[in-house]
Amino acid sequence: DQQVKQNSPSLSVQEGRISILNCDYTNSMFDYFLWYKKYPAEGPTFLISISSIKDKNEDGRFTVFLNKSAKHLSLHIVPSQPGDSAVYFCAASAYNGGATNKLIFGTGTLLAVQP
Partner 1 sequence: DAMVIQNPRYQVTQFGKPVTLSCSQTLNHNVMYWYQQKSSQAPKLLFHYYDKDFNNEADTPDNFQSRRPNTSFCFLDIRSPGLGDAAMYLCATSRDGTGYTFGSGTRLTVV
Instruction: List residues binding partner 1 (CB under 8 A).
Output: 2, 4, 9, 34, 36, 41-46, 89, 93, 98-108
CB of 93 to partner 1, least distance (A): 7
Query: Smallest distance from the beta carbon of 10 to partner 1, in angstroms?
Result: 10
Contact 92, 113 (CB under 8 A): no
> In terms of Cα–Cα distance, which of 18, 21, 37 is closest to 79?
18
Pick between residue 53 and residue 99 the one whose CB is nearest to partner 1.
Answer: 99
Q: How far is CA 64 from the centre of its chain?
A: 7
Nearer to partner 1, 65 or 105 (CB): 105
- Find the shortest distance in angstroms from Cβ 31 to partner 1: 12
- DSSP string for 7-53: --SEEEEETTS-EEEEEEE--TT--EEEEEEE-TTS--EEEEEEETT
Name the residue nearer to partner 1 (CB basis): 29 or 78: 29
Compute the half-sphere exposure of residue 38: CA atoms within 13 Å on the CB side of its CA: 18
CB of 66 to partner 1, least distance (A): 18
C-beta of 69 vs 100, nearer to partner 1:
100
